[in-house]
């Protein structure tokens, strides 16, 4: 099997090569993202391996199909960037990695909360400059605070376990109730009640039409003044323009995001010597109570191992004409 791996960074290549002996596959690594302009790089390959910000739309899929590609292997959980109907129409299977170390993302969510709250990033920079003042570094106790969790799949459950350890009251919303969380004392409520009662709101749900821009002007109006919002799921769960207004009006007291609506133009790249043209990200960075990380919540050794192994197993199942446990349809 010949596999074209798009949006490759050095660490992606490292992990695929680490497990290359598992199956006798031939990999070609492309730094460029997959889209209609680069899809012809797939000529001669059986499989393309894509990532979160690749644009696998109808135009791209038409070219992949013409080039003989039969499988799109997403090395991530999300698949909202893939035109599934087009893939089906062109006879191309789509697989993904539905779960990989959910603790990795959950722990990063907590890291954002703690950093925003206790301002450790600012304290670190101050002390390195010889400034040992505590002015404007005051935080709050997590103990006793109400944490709202939207989405209680594997990552949401892992996040709830951690916050329970801090002594927080946890409210949750999901279309499916987790009995494990109920037994733990988590209370499920309608989403508007979760918005209304939460001191901290953490998003752990997939992006789909029903969840796009769930944090918007209307939902923000229901939240407590000074609410902390954390998003390590998908950028478009938050309406960025409305979030900026909420920050300016002090409705949002803290915002921690590892994902961003327009991240495909920014994240995973070194733009330190470039003039960034995205006005929203520049505005967000101007707020002292905003913390942005560039889609690194998943990025642990354990998660990279799982992502790579599951991706390879998905490809092998396809090659052997076995049932695709992780097929997206």
295 labelled catalytic: yes
- Residue spans of beta strands (DSSP E) within the chain: 2-5, 26-29, 47-50, 71-74, 93-95, 146-150, 169-173, 187-188, 200-203, 227-231, 252-257, 290-292
Q: Which candidate in 75, 108, 234, 261 is catalytic?
A: 234
d(CA 87, CA 129): 54
d(CA 64, CA 58): 10
Neighbours of 71 (CB within 10 A): 24
DSSP 325: T
319 labelled catalytic: no
CA nearest neighbour of 162 among 177, 179, 181: 181
Phi-psi region of 44 (alpha: psi -120 to 50; beta: other; left: phi over 0): left
Quote the longest CA-to-CA distance of the chain: 64
Q: Which candidate in 108, 204, 263, 264 is catalytic?
A: 263
161 labelled catalytic: no
Q: Which candidate in 75, 108, 213, 295 is catalytic?
A: 295
* Interaxial angle between packed helices 154-165 and 102-118, expressed in degrees from 0 to 180 and rounded to the nearest 10: 40
Tokens encoding 171 = 């409210």
**How far is residue 245 from each of residues 65, 221, 223, 240, 283, measured CA to CA in Å?**
44, 11, 14, 9, 10
**How far is residue 42 from each of residues 48, 150, 314, measured CA to CA in Å?**
7, 38, 19
Residues that are catalytic? 234, 263, 295
């Amino acid at each position: 099997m010949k596999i074209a791996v798009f949006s490759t960074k050095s660490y992606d290549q490292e992990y695929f090569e680490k497990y290359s002996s598992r199956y006798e596959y031939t990999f070609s690594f492309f730094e460029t993202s997959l889209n209609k302009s680069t899809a012809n790089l797939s000529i001669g390959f059986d499989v393309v391996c894509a990532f979160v910000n690749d644009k696998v739309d109808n135009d791209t899929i038409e070219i992949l199909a013409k080039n003989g590609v039969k499988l799109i292997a997403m090395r991530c959980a999300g698949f909202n960037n893939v035109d599934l109907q087009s893939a089906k129409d062109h006879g191309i299977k789509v697989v993904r990695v539905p779960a990989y170390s959910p603790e990795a993302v959950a722990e990063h969510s907590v890291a954002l909360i703690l950093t925003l709250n206790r301002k450790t990033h600012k304290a670190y920079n101050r002390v390195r400059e010889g400034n040992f003042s505590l002015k404007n570094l005051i935080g709050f106790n997590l103990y006793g605070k109400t944490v709202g969790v939207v989405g209680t799949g594997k990552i949401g459950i892992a996040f709830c376990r951690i916050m329970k350890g801090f002594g927080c009251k946890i409210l949750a919303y999901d279309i499916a109730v987790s009995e494990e969380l109920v037994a733990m004392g988590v209370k499920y409520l309608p989403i508007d009640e979760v918005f209304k009662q939460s001191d901290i709101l953490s998003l752990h749900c997939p992006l789909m039409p029903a969840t796009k821009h769930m944090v918007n002007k209307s939902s923000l109006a229901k939240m407590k003044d000074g609410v902390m919002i954390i998003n390590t799921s998908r950028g478009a769960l938050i309406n960025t323009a409305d979030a900026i207004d909420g920050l300016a009006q002090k409705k949002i007291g803290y915002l921690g995001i590892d994902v961003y609506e327009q991240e495909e133009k920014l994240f995973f790249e070194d733009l330190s010597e470039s003039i960034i043209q995205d006005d929203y990200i520049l505005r967000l960075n101007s707020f002292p109570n905003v913390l942005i990380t560039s889609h690194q919540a998943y990025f642990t050794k354990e998660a990279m191992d799982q992502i790579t192994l599951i991706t390879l197993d998905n490809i092998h199942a396809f090659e052997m004409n076995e049932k695709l446990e992780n097929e997206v349809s």
